[in-house]
Amino acid sequence: MRIILLGPPGSGKGTQAQRLIHRYGIVQLSTGEMLRAAVAAQTPVGLKAKDIMAGGGLVPDEIVIGIISDRLDQPDAARGFILDGFPRTVPQAEALDELLRKKRLKLDAVIELRVNESALLQRVESRVAEMRSRGEEVRVDDTAEVLVRRLASYRAMTEPLIHYYSERRKLLTVDGMMTIEHVTHEIDRILQAIGAVEPKTDSKAAKKPAAKVASRKSKSAKKPSNGARKAVRGGSRAPKKAIGKKAAKKGAARAAAPARKRAAAGARKAAKKAPKKAGKRRA
Ligand code: AMP
């Protein structure tokens, strides 16, 4: 699974990314974290990025694109990844498209966490007030003033990506104002609907329909799909018998793909509508 999490600061991207990496065994690629590590290690990239980051500006594209490209080549990214904090601008999104094309990787979805900005500000304000009343130190970047600046930068630089990915039919919007649990559940639901992940269930009964598809579509089980054939070509170490079974299984799974695609179209529509309604309720 390869996804981008999009949303303004405070929308819960980091929290949801953590939940996704545990659930699906994929990695989180956060340019902010990678840059902070580079600054701490005083690498050439870190030295270039240090002052820009301190001033809250954007690090030049060639630097962030370079670190993302290198990171995508590492073995732990092969199972899938969540991009967090990248791309941040349309030119970065275009560069990412090019990178993925060259690496022959396909993006499954861009998940936008839509939030109510005034509610975000209220949250920060009350958190800061509570911390001060307890005599705790408030982080310099965790104030309403800083949030206002970061939200403005998000609107100007990053929000155009919503249109970019919506045009490419990749955008799925989730109401980020729901509880953390609900947002996670909603993300899971839409990822399943578009076929990016398999439904998580252990019950035998729930597995039955898949078996039915396999027997009804016995053709696909005998004649593996393109994807399965590729897997056979790539899997030179696996014994032939195992490859046959694997390919049959994949073929059967792919037989369900058209239904998934229809579900995906529905999910995209539903996901687009849902947050608006929820937003109205909360406004
Ligand atoms: P973040 O942790 O995502 O808020 O990022 C922290 C800082 O790293 C940002 O304020 C930028 O200075 C820099 N940064 C992170 N990601 C990017 C990016 N995609 N493009 C440019 N600068 C970035």
Q: Whose CA is nearest to atom 11 of ligand 1?
A: 58
169-208 per-position pLDDT tens digit: 999 999 999 999 999 999 999 999 988 877 765 444 344 3
Q: Mutation test of ligand 1: which of 88, 141, 154, 158 has the most ligand atoms closer than 8 Å to its C-beta? A: 88
Mean pLDDT of 156-164: 94
Q: Is 134 a catalytic residue?
A: no
Domains of the chain: which residue ranges? Answer: 2-200, 205-255
Question: Nearest residue CA, atom 15 of ligand 1?
Answer: 32
**71 vs 150, more confident:** 71
pLDDT bin (cut points 50, 70, 90) of residue 97 is very high
- Asked if 144 and 125 count as a contact pair (C-beta separation under 8 A), the reply is yes
Which of 2, 13, 114, 268 is catalytic? The answer is 13
What pTM was computed for the model?
A: 0.69
Q: Is 150 a catalytic residue?
A: yes
Condensed to tens digits (0 to 9), the pLDDT of residues 206-221 reads 443 333 333 333 333 3
**Residue ranges lining ligand 1, Cβ < 6 Å:** 31-32, 35, 52-53, 56-59, 64, 85-86, 88, 92
Within 10 A of 184 (CB to CB), how many other CB atoms are there? 19
Chain center to CA of 159: 16
Tokens encoding 225: 């799909």
Which of the four pLDDT bands, split at 50, 70 and 90, describes residue 64?
very high
* Superfamily (CATH H level) for 2-200: P-loop containing nucleotide triphosphate hydrolases (3.40.50.300)
Poorest-confidence range of 17-31, 100-114, 119-133?
119-133
Most ligand 1 atoms within 8 A of CB, residue of 35, 62, 83 to mutate = 35
136: pLDDT confidence band, cut at 50, 70 and 90? Answer: confident
pLDDT score recorded for residue 256: 41
Choose the weakest-confidence range: 102-106, 141-145, 155-159, 189-193.
141-145
The reported pLDDT for the residue numbered 141 is 62
Residue corresponding to tokens 């022959």: 104
Question: Active-site residue among 36, 50, 123, 150?
Answer: 150
- The candidate with the shortest Cα–Cα distance to 115, out of 24, 37, 5, 235, is 5
pLDDT tens digits, 238-277:
333 333 344 444 444 444 444 445 455 555 555 554 444 3
Q: Which of 127, 217, 246, 272 is catalytic?
A: 127
pLDDT score of 140 = 64
Strands 109-114 and 2-6: parallel
- Percent of the chain surpassing pLDDT 90: 48
- The residue-averaged pLDDT of 65-75 equals 94
- In terms of DSSP H, where are the helices of 143-225? 144-153, 160-167, 180-193, 204-216, 218-222
| Segment 7-47, tens digit of pLDDT | 998 888 889 999 999 999 999 999 999 999 999 999 999 99
Q: How far is the CA of 32 from the centre of ligand 1 (A)?
A: 4
Closest by CA position to 2, among listed 86, 125, 117:
86
In a 3-state reduction of DSSP, which class is residue 38?
helix
Atom of ligand 1 nearest to the CA of 33: 2
Question: What distance, in Å, lies between the first and last C-alpha atoms of the chain?
Answer: 34
What 3-state class would DSSP assign to 273? helix
How many Å apart are CA 80 and CA 99, to the nearest integer? 15
Test site for ligand 1: of 58, 90, 139, most ligand atoms within 8 A of the Cβ: 58
Examine the residue annotation and report whether 104 is marked as an active-site residue of this protein: no
